[in-house]
Structure 1
Amino acid sequence: MPAQSQPGRSADMSTMPLSVDDIHGVIRHEIITLKLMPGAKVSENELARRFHTSRTPVREALLRLVDEGLVEVWPQRGTLITPISLRAVRRARFVREAIEVAVFRKAAIDGLPADVLTQLDAIIVQQHEAREDPVRFTEADDAFHRTFANGIVVGDIWSVLEREKAQFDRVRFLSLPNVTPVAILIEQHRKMIATVRDRDPEAAEQAVRDHLSEVLKVTEQLSARYPDLIVNDM
């Protein structure tokens, strides 16, 4: 199994109670990074104690995760982390590709500000430094795609992608760094930046499609390796 770590925000909740958004973000991060494994049972009471709050904001956060397909509630069994659904992974990849192709084509056609390109170059360096740490690498990978989405300045596109890609992210995390070589992903990111610098929308579109196909290449392999975590519901 890949290495695991705490979410970006400290799990020490000894100060002020967290908001519903914060609680949702912490639990979601722990599901995606497999700190909370598929099939694990979660308790509203225990989470309320952990976050120093009442059960109401915890319940609201869990309901959001139900909507995202990351949590399911069974009357006799309780609240459980869902297995990874290959159908949901393919759906997320389809939606993400449609949006990101549009993002990268617009970036290549219109260009990106120099400071955004500099920021993207810096993220590539961060990814290289985090290549042995799946959590840090995943965070840098998200930063790369988020910077592009924000860079074209047409609204909060990233929040749409963030909601859609949760199941996709769990497979992505599970594949790092041994199944999907990190060096390949970094090189693909470099190529994506280069196509935008060259103002070549056709090449940018193809670079995005090639990049997002990497997860689908390994889903069956991961499904066979981790049958307790992944449901082949295609």
Structure 2
Amino acid sequence: MTLPPAADMGIDPKQPIGAQVYVLLKRMILSLALKPNEALSEKELSLRLGISRTPVREALIRLADEALVDVFPQRGTFVSPIRTSEVLEAQFLREALEAAVARRAAEAPSPKLLREMSALLKRQQQAAVAGEPEEYLPLDEAFHRAISDGIAMPRAWRLIQSVKGQMDRVRFLSLPNKPHLLLLTEQHTEIFRAIEAHDPDRAEAAMRHHLREVLKTIHELAAEMPSIFA
């Protein structure tokens, strides 16, 4: 397990440390910098980060609640493998939430939301054409979050975030494929056009179609990388 010092990761001692460690570790798990089945030592993490063990423990508890780490009494804590059943459950829950969000957004989209979505789509297109998944992933997140924020329901996005961790690891594995980035951008464009057209049925259908994309790759990825899938 390789971690830079806390100062190099932007951990602010004036802000709640536990929340910052949670964000850091979650990002590393979702990007597979911390690999499935890798051991996570509370003591080692606190030493490497130069912080006490309490915020590390708090972060690991939150990650366990999201099924991103497994805690085994007497054995330790490990990054959870990617479990197909949990990915399918996360996809189901996310689709239900975001389809409703897209429908609500299309009923009365604000000019601000449309401008933000349009700007993000342009940046996504650039990243997709350049084949830069590291640039694309945060833009993808921002696009989906913008829709929730655009209907004044930021808690909807926080709830979506809490259930989609297992999905995100599968998404990360598929992103290096440039045609896949271009396909996702096309699907985002269709969602945008439906919302722009004030068409709730079309927006909901476009969002459902988009979020089912992960189902097309999960079994293929599991066959290619059995060591990280349960």
Q: Does the CA contact (< 8 Å) of 1:92 and 1:167 recur in 2?
A: yes
Q: Does the CA contact (< 8 Å) of 1:180 and 1:214 recur in 2?
A: no
Mapped to 2, the partners of 1:75 and 1:155 lie a distance apart of 36
Mapped to 1, the partners of 2:160 and 2:153 lie a distance apart of 14
- Specify the alignment match of 1:104 in structure 2: 102
Mapped to 1, the partners of 2:165 and 2:7 lie a distance apart of 21
TM-score calculated relative to the size of structure 1: 0.89
1:61-114 per-residue CA deviation (whole Å, 9 max, x = no partner) reads 10111111011122343211000011111111111111111111111112x221
Letter in 2 for 1:183: L
- Specify the alignment match of 1:156 in structure 2: 155
Mapped to 2, the partners of 1:200 and 1:153 lie a distance apart of 19
Q: Does the CA contact (< 8 Å) of 1:179 and 1:218 recur in 2?
A: no
Mapped to 2, the partners of 1:52 and 1:14 lie a distance apart of 10
Letter in 2 for 1:146: R
- Specify the alignment match of 1:47 in structure 2: 45
- Specify the alignment match of 1:25 in structure 2: 23
Mapped to 2, the partners of 1:195 and 1:28 lie a distance apart of 32
Query: CA 1:68–1:179 in 2, change beyond 3 Å: closer, same or farther?
Result: farther
Compute the displacement of 1:165 (Å): 0.3
1:75 to 73, 76, 99: 73
Unaligned runs of 5+ in 2: none
Question: Is 1:125 matched up with 2:122?
Answer: yes
1:16-66 per-residue CA deviation (whole Å, 9 max, x = no partner) reads 376111100000000001100101111112211232211011011101111
Letter in 2 for 1:93: Q
Q: Does the CA contact (< 8 Å) of 2:133 and 2:181 recur in 1?
A: no
- Specify the alignment match of 1:3 in structure 2: none
Q: Does the CA contact (< 8 Å) of 1:149 and 1:158 recur in 2?
A: yes
Q: Percent identity?
A: 39
- Specify the alignment match of 1:61 in structure 2: 59
- Specify the alignment match of 1:91 in structure 2: 89
Question: Is 1:114 matched up with 2:85?
Answer: no
Query: How does 1:152-231 map onto structure 2 within 5 Å?
Result: 152-178=151-177, 181-231=180-230
Mapped to 2, the partners of 1:134 and 1:165 lie a distance apart of 19
1:159-179 per-residue CA deviation (whole Å, 9 max, x = no partner) reads 000000000000000111228
Letter in 2 for 1:88: E
- Specify the alignment match of 1:145 in structure 2: 144
Q: Does the CA contact (< 8 Å) of 1:16 and 1:52 recur in 2?
A: no
RMSD: 2.1
1:12 to 9, 12, 21: 9
Query: CA 1:161–1:21 in 2, change beyond 3 Å: closer, same or farther?
Result: same
More divergent stretch after superposition (89-98 vs 14-23): 14-23
Mapped to 2, the partners of 1:207 and 1:189 lie a distance apart of 8
TM-score calculated relative to the size of structure 2: 0.90
Unaligned runs of 5+ in 1: 1-5
Q: Does the CA contact (< 8 Å) of 1:108 and 1:195 recur in 2?
A: yes
Mapped to 2, the partners of 1:126 and 1:157 lie a distance apart of 24
